[in-house]
Amino acid sequence: MKKSAHKSTHQHFFNALTVDVEDYYMVSAFSDIVKFEDWHKYESRIENNMHRILELLDEYKVKATFFVLGWIAKHYPNLVREIHTAGHEIACHGYNHKLIYHLTHEQFREDVHTAKCIIEDIIGSQMLGYRAASYSIVKRTIWALDILIEEGFLYDSSIFPVHHDRYGFPGANRFPHVIQRKNGTIKEFPPSTFKILGQNIPMAGGGYLRLFPLPITRSMIKRINAKDNQPVTIYLHPWEVDADQPRLNGCLKSKFRHYINLSSTFPKLRSFLDEFRFRPLSEFLDTPSLWDSSTSQYAQ
């Protein structure tokens, strides 16, 4: 499996690889059984899992975007420094993985601001991008974009144009677009979806990436690149490359979503790196063809 083996027609096209830097016990699926106050009691797996991902990316000389949780940065500043020093983009995943629709405007502002201060102190430069815990910018929390604009973020990657019980913004633009708000604009990179029979199917991250057979995901990426002429935004989490992580006892649905096909993530990631080219989200910000004629105005 050498890097040059398959990169043929898609070699010219860049996609985005994104990683949400959080540990297995912080996820929304288990937030009803793992309280934030108890996070420090759980066995930490973040450093080992991140090193596996970083080593793989280094092998392929690929740079990605890492949306770092403020709590992780506070407790593992060296890890954040290491990601940054390796040349990857550091972006913001909020402070403690609270869903935005459970927060007031002021609580959200404080969460973002706290994370921003901690992380930027470590890396010594400004973060450009933000991704909400569990894609929790939905119709009723679209106001969160105004606060991100005020906090100086240039892009967001939290609006998932799908139907889902925890997140989703049905009808939102599937591809990168500019969102016009009263107080300015922000660029949006939605996690990628594939349109089948009029439905947007999540396809490029989390449980969906683990669930779909690799050839299906590969062909969806190729189609989006070739037919839609758009980049794909892939997302994954460090705990998804850790099949041996301690099992948490949530409800059946949560366990299915969290544990399905964990051992497939790493080989799938390697296969994507073999076949496709990637760059961090920030490097798409100056690609005019992505942003011309793609302004959306969601209800204020």
Per-residue DSSP letter, 38:
G
Q: Which stretch binds Zn ion (CB under 5 A): 84-92, 128-136, 256-264, 269-277?
A: 128-136
The identity of residue 1, as a single letter, is M
Examine residue 156 and tell whether it contacts Zn ion (CB under 5 A): no
Examine residue 23 and tell whether it contacts Zn ion (CB under 5 A): no
Examine residue 20 and tell whether it contacts Zn ion (CB under 5 A): yes
Helix, strand, coil percentages in the chain from 3-state DSSP, rounded to 5 = 45, 15, 40
Nearer to Zn ion, 20 or 242 (CB): 20
* Shortest Å, Cβ 28 to Zn ion: 7
Nearer to Zn ion, 20 or 23 (CB): 20
Rounded CA separation 137/153 (Å): 15
Nearer to Zn ion, 157 or 225 (CB): 157
Q: Which stretch binds Zn ion (CB under 5 A): 15-23, 116-124, 161-169, 186-194?
A: 15-23
* Shortest Å, Cβ 90 to Zn ion: 15
Q: Which stretch binds Zn ion (CB under 5 A): 22-30, 58-66, 111-119, 287-295?
A: 22-30
Quote the Cα angle for 13-163-233, to 5°: 15
Residue identified by tokens 């990316």 is 57
Size of interface with Zn ion, in residues (CB under 5 A): 3
Nearer to Zn ion, 133 or 162 (CB): 133
Beta strands in 112-226 (DSSP E): 129-130, 155-156, 177-181, 184-188, 193-196, 199-202
Rounded CA separation 217/156 (Å): 24
Written as one string, the DSSP assignment of 189-200 is -PPPEEEETTEE
Nearer to Zn ion, 88 or 93 (CB): 93
Nearer to Zn ion, 22 or 242 (CB): 22
The identity of residue 300, as a single letter, is Q
Helix (H) or strand (E) holding 13: none
Nearer to Zn ion, 20 or 89 (CB): 20
Rounded CA separation 202/283 (Å): 23
Torsion sign across C-alpha atoms 160, 252, 23, 273? negative
Tokens of 65: 């975007």
Residue nearest to Zn ion (CB): 20
* Shortest Å, Cβ 93 to Zn ion: 6
Q: Which stretch binds Zn ion (CB under 5 A): 120-128, 131-139, 158-166, 252-260?
A: 131-139
Q: Which stretch binds Zn ion (CB under 5 A): 31-39, 50-58, 129-137, 283-291?
A: 129-137
Binding-site ranges for Zn ion (CB under 5 A):
20, 22, 133
